[in-house]
Amino acid sequence: MTMVAHDIMAEERLRAERAASGADRHDEVWESIHMMAPMPNHEHQLLVGRFTRVLGEIFFDSEAGDVVPGVNVSDRVAGWESNFRVPDVAVFLKTTRAVNHDQFWSGGPDFVIEIVSPHDQTREKLGFYGAIGTRELLVVDRDPWRLELYRHDGDALRLAATGSVREQHWIESRVLGVQMRMQDGADRPGIDVCHVASGKRWRV
C-alpha cells in the first residue's frame, strides 16, 4: 500500500515519532522521497548479524577494513540527506575510495550485502549502488533462497554469479577474496563462507 501525505504537519509528526522510537533507522531517502522501511524480521536480523561477525573477523580484526551493519551511503556531500541508501552490511577496505563523513559515507562501499524482504525494493537500488562505484554487491533472496553476486564492470553493476541449494557451487567475491555457497539446513538454507587466503570457513 502506498501513502501520499500532503499534510505537512502530519508528515513531520510521523517522522518525529519514528525518529523518537528508533523505527526510522532503516529509512532511506531517494532523491528527496522519504522511503519508510519496516523493521526487518528475526531471520533478516540474524543474517545481518552473522555476516557482520564473519566479515568482521576477516577484515576488521586484521585491520584490513571496516564492516558496518547499516550505514548511510550517499552520492554527494552537500545535502547528502536528500539521497542516501542504507545497505544491510557494507565493507570498506583500507584502500577504499569512499570517504567517511562520520554520519554517512560518500561514494560506494567496496562490498555490499542486501537481504531481500517481502515487498522491498532491493533490486531497485542496484542503479544507485553502481552509480556511486560500489565494487561488488551480494543479494540474498529468501523466496526462493538464492545468492546473486553483482560486480562493477566500469559502467554499472552486472550479475556475475548466482548460487542456490540446488546448484551448491561456490561463488567468489574478487574484492574480498571470499567464497560463498548455499547448502541445505534444518530450518533454512545455510550460507557457507570461505576465506580463500586462510582456508577458514564459517556457516551463516
User: Do 46 and 86 fall into the same domain?
Assistant: yes
Q: Which residues, including other chains, have CB under 8 Å from residue 30's CB and lie 6 or more apart? A: 83, 85, 128
Closest CA to 146 of 167, 127, 130: 167
Is pTM beyond 0.85? Reply is yes
Shared domain for 163 and 197, answered yes or no, is yes
Same domain, 35 and 123: no
Report the pLDDT value the prediction gives residue 15, as an integer from 0 to 100.
67
Are the CB atoms for 126 and 137 separated by under 8 Å? yes
Q: Are residues 27 and 115 in the same domain?
A: no
* pLDDT the model gives residue 4: 57
pLDDT at 96: 98
At 1 the pLDDT is 43
What pLDDT is recorded for position 13?
73
Same domain assignment for residues 51 and 30: no
Domain housing 157: 40-203
Same domain, 48 and 33: no
Q: What is the mean pLDDT of each run of 10 residues along the chain (204 residues)?
A: 56 68 70 76 96 97 96 98 97 98 98 93 96 99 96 98 92 98 92 97 97
CA distances from residue 24 to 1, 39, 84, 110, 157 in whole angstroms, order as listed: 18, 9, 13, 25, 28
Q: Please check whether residues 71 and 32 belong to one and the same domain.
A: no
Are 196 and 112 found together in one domain? yes
